[in-house]
Amino acid sequence: MTLRVLGVDPGLTRCGIGVIDSAGGRRATLVSAGVIRSESEDPIDRRLLILARGLRAAMEEHGPDVVAVERVFSQNNISTVMGTAQVSGIAIVEAAERGIPIAMHTPSEVKAAVTGSGRADKKQIQTMLVRLLGLEAPPQPADASDAVAIALTQLWRGPGPVALDATGGARTSAQSVWARAEREARRARERSTSRH
């Protein structure tokens, strides 16, 4: 059974998105990577709306089994932390509304999962992504690579997903299985439709 993970590297100007599939073990395939952008001159409500629409579209298009989001961590720049936290919240809500479990990982967890070192730099992460996913080059821009790394972290190291139902409550294992079956059926219908 294929597991699809959508990784989100939250950012107010560039929000990285990375989608990978895994058939088990440490085998993974890149499905999609990119960024959702908002203009720094725009008012905050407009920026958050653009990012919400982009995240919604990515979830609808790719139908992930789990959404992995980078956990906001303390920085010196409060405005950067606030923007990151706001975008993280949007990603979590968009997933919860679709019954998709979410998980969160710190930057050091992501570095350790992908490279084996919690102190790796972006170049080391990108080098490992190329090797692990059999790519010719790392996803660009860097925010897209970060999102793919977050998705890989969920596949290989993650704590299990934090299951939420559409109301934000905990979801039972039976509900999780049902939601996954619905997503797989939708994917099968889409594949069937695209062949005709």
Active site residues: 9, 70, 143
Query: Does the annotation flag 184 for ligand binding?
Result: no
Q: Are 107 and 73 in contact (CB under 8 A)?
A: yes
Q: Identify whether the C-beta of residue 95 lies closer than 8 Å to the C-beta of residue 101.
A: yes
9 is in an annotated binding site: yes
Contact 145, 33 (CB under 8 A): yes
Give, in degrees to the nearest 5, the angle at Cα 24 between 6 and 184: 55
User: Cis omega (within 30 of 0) on the bond before 141?
Assistant: yes
DSSP 127-175: HHHHHHHT-SS--SSHHHHHHHHHHHHHHHTPPPPB-B-TTSSB--HHH
Determine whether the annotation assigns residue 146 to a binding site.
no
Sign of CA dihedral 149, 151, 153, 159: positive
Can you say which residues are annotated as belonging to the binding site for Mg(2+)?
Answer: 9, 70, 143
